[in-house]
Amino acid sequence: MNVNAHSAQDKTRLARALGERARAASRSLGAAPTAQKDRALESLARRLREGHRPILEANAADLDQGKAQGLSEALLDRLMLDEKRLEAVADAVLQVRALPDPIGEVTSTWRRPNGLTVQKVRIPLGVILMIYEARPNVTVDAAALCLKSGNAVILRGGKEALQTNLALHRVVAAALGDAGLAPEGAQLVQTPDREVMLALLQLDELIDLAIPRGGEGLIRFVAQNARVPVIKHYKGVCHVYVHAAADPRKALEITVNAKAQRPGVCNAAECLLIDRAAIGTLPAIARGLIERKVELRCDPAALAALQQEGLPAVPASPEDWGREFLDRILAVRVVEGLDEAMEHIARYGSLHTEAIVTQDLSAAARFTREVVASAVMVNASTRFNDGGELGLGAEIGISTSKLHAFGPMGLAELTAQRFVVVGDGQVRG
C-alpha cells in the first residue's frame, strides 16, 4: 500500500483496494474450520508474548511523539503499553480462542407441514470496519473477535498510535499466515486521516458494518458520513434511581460502586435520582461518595438535604442533567416518584444503562418494562453492563443503537442468521 498517497482520488483508490482485499479474504475466512481459526489465535497470543520487544519500541516512539505534541496525561496513559498490558492483551486473545465458534451454529430448527426443514444458521457478517482512537489493544482485540467469527476486518486506529498499531498488525498478519489463513483477513489502515476513512465509509458493496468506538465527535462524524451500516457505541449517561422502597444499604453500595469504582467508563453512573420519600437515605449515600472524592451537583431539594447535614455539595447547572462527566462528579436530583424518574431518564438518558434500587416488585416490573436502555438493572450496579460481566465472553463494544445489537456486542453479534431450507422436491402450489 502506498502510504504517500495524497490526492483524494488516490485515497478513494486506496480505500477501494483495502475493501476488495478484505472482501476476498472474507470468503475463505468465512469457510475456515474452527481449528484453523483457533490455531491463528494461539499463534497470535504466542507472538505477542515472544515478540514484545519491537511492539514496545514502536509504542515508545508513539509516546515520545505524543509527549512532544502535548497530548494529555489521560491520552498518553491510554496509548501506553508495557509488558504487563501486553500480557493482558495476549490473555484476551486466548479467552477469545476458548469461546465457542459462533459460525455454523443452528439457533433454531423447525419443520413445516409440507415436510420442509427450516434452520436458522449463523454466518459471518463479512467485512467489518473498526474505527477507534488511541487504545492500541483494540487492534488486537478486534482482530481476534473478527477472526473467531469468520469476518475480515479493516482496522482504522488513531494516528497517535500508528507506530504501535503497525507493530501489532504485523504480529496479527503473521499469525493468520501461520495458520494458513489470508493475512488480508485483518488489514490496518496505514494512513489514518479522515479522507481514507471517509472513502471507506462509502463502500457499501464491500463493507458490511462499521463500528466506531471513541469520543462523541468521532462517532457523530462516522454516523453522519457513512453509507455502510453503522453500529454506534455512544456515550453512557447512566442513572441510578433510588426508589421510595429501596433498601438503604443497597442504595448506598450500588450508587457508590456505579459512580466511583471506575468513573471514566461508559457504564459508570452520571446521575442519581432519589425519591423524595427516600431522601432520608441521601446523606449516607453522599458520605460514601464524598469519601471516594466524588463531587455532588445537586438540585435545590438535594442540596438543602445535604447542607442540613453539613455535607459539601454544589448546585447543579441545567447542563449537568444528561451530561457524561467521565469523572468523579455526580448529578443528584430529587424526584416525586417512578413516573418522574422515568421521564427524566427518557429525556436525558443515552439508552446505555439504567438502574433502579427498590424492594417493591411492581416498581421494578414497571421500570424494567418501560425504560428503554441496552441494559436495565434492578438492585445491581450499572457497571455490570459489560460483555464479560454478563457472561457473553469478550466484547467488541457496547451498542447504543437498537438495530442488530443493543448492549454488549460479543461474537454472536458479529454474525448474521441465514435460513437453510432442506426439502425433498417441494414446490409451491
Near a second copy in 27-86, by CB under 8 A: 27, 30-31
- When asked if residue 116 is in the footprint of a second copy (CB under 8 A), the reply is yes
Q: Return all residues near 357 (Cβ < 8 A) that are at least 6 apart.
A: 240, 241, 242, 243, 246, 247, 250, 251, 254, 255, 379
Is residue 417 a contact partner of residue 121, using CB atoms and an 8 Å limit? yes
Residues 266-305 that bind a second copy (CB under 8 A): none
Angle between the N-to-C axes of helices 162-178 and 52-68, in degrees from 0 to 180, rounded to the nearest 10: 160
- When asked if residue 21 is in the footprint of a second copy (CB under 8 A), the reply is no
- When asked if residue 98 is in the footprint of a second copy (CB under 8 A), the reply is no
Residues 185-204 that bind a second copy (CB under 8 A): 204
Position among 6, 53, 194, 227 found at the interface with a second copy (CB under 8 A): 227
Considering only the stretches 80-88, 92-100, 221-229, 304-312, report the one whose residues sit in contact with a second copy under the rule CB under 8 A: 221-229
Identify the residue whose cell numbers are 453479534: 413
Q: Which of 28, 10, 21, 59 is nearest to 187 (CA)?
A: 21
Shortest Cβ 427–a second copy spacing (Å):
4
Buried b (16+ CB within 10 A) or exposed e, 409-428: bbbbbbbeeeeeeeeeeeee
Q: Distance from CA of residue 182 to its chain's centroid?
A: 27
- When asked if residue 264 is in the footprint of a second copy (CB under 8 A), the reply is no
- When asked if residue 108 is in the footprint of a second copy (CB under 8 A), the reply is no
Q: Kindly write down the DSSP assignment for every residue of 307-325, as one continuous string.
A: HHTT---EEPPGGGTT---
d(CA 160, CA 68): 11
Shortest Cβ 294–a second copy spacing (Å):
15
- When asked if residue 121 is in the footprint of a second copy (CB under 8 A), the reply is yes
d(CA 429, CA 422): 17
Give the cell for residue 239.
Answer: 442513572
Shortest Cβ 124–a second copy spacing (Å):
9
Count the residues of the shown chain that bind a second copy, applying the rule CB under 8 A.
Answer: 71
Q: Where are the beta strands (DSSP E) in 67-185?
A: 106-111, 117-124, 127-131, 152-156
Position among 25, 79, 254, 282 found at the interface with a second copy (CB under 8 A): 254
Is residue 351 a contact partner of residue 374, using CB atoms and an 8 Å limit? yes
d(CA 376, CA 384): 10
- When asked if residue 209 is in the footprint of a second copy (CB under 8 A), the reply is yes
- When asked if residue 6 is in the footprint of a second copy (CB under 8 A), the reply is no
Position among 16, 46, 250, 276 found at the interface with a second copy (CB under 8 A): 250
Identify which of residues 144 and 405 has a Cβ nearer to a second copy in the complex.
405
Q: Which of 160, 185, 157, 159 is nearest to 172 (CA)?
A: 185
Identify which of residues 191 and 382 has a Cβ nearer to a second copy in the complex.
382
- CA dihedral (372, 375, 378, 384) in degrees, to 10, reads -160
d(CA 162, CA 154): 14
Considering only the stretches 223-231, 271-279, 304-312, 314-322, report the one whose residues sit in contact with a second copy under the rule CB under 8 A: 223-231
Position among 301, 311, 329, 390 found at the interface with a second copy (CB under 8 A): 390
- When asked if residue 257 is in the footprint of a second copy (CB under 8 A), the reply is yes
Considering only the stretches 47-55, 76-84, 131-139, 229-237, report the one whose residues sit in contact with a second copy under the rule CB under 8 A: 229-237
Position among 55, 131, 375, 394 found at the interface with a second copy (CB under 8 A): 375
Identify which of residues 1 and 403 has a Cβ nearer to a second copy in the complex.
403
Position among 198, 223, 245, 329 found at the interface with a second copy (CB under 8 A): 223
- When asked if residue 376 is in the footprint of a second copy (CB under 8 A), the reply is yes
- When asked if residue 421 is in the footprint of a second copy (CB under 8 A), the reply is yes
Q: Which of 318, 380, 333 is nearest to 354 (CA)?
A: 380
Residues 327-366 that bind a second copy (CB under 8 A): 346, 364
Rg of the chain on CA atoms, in Å: 24
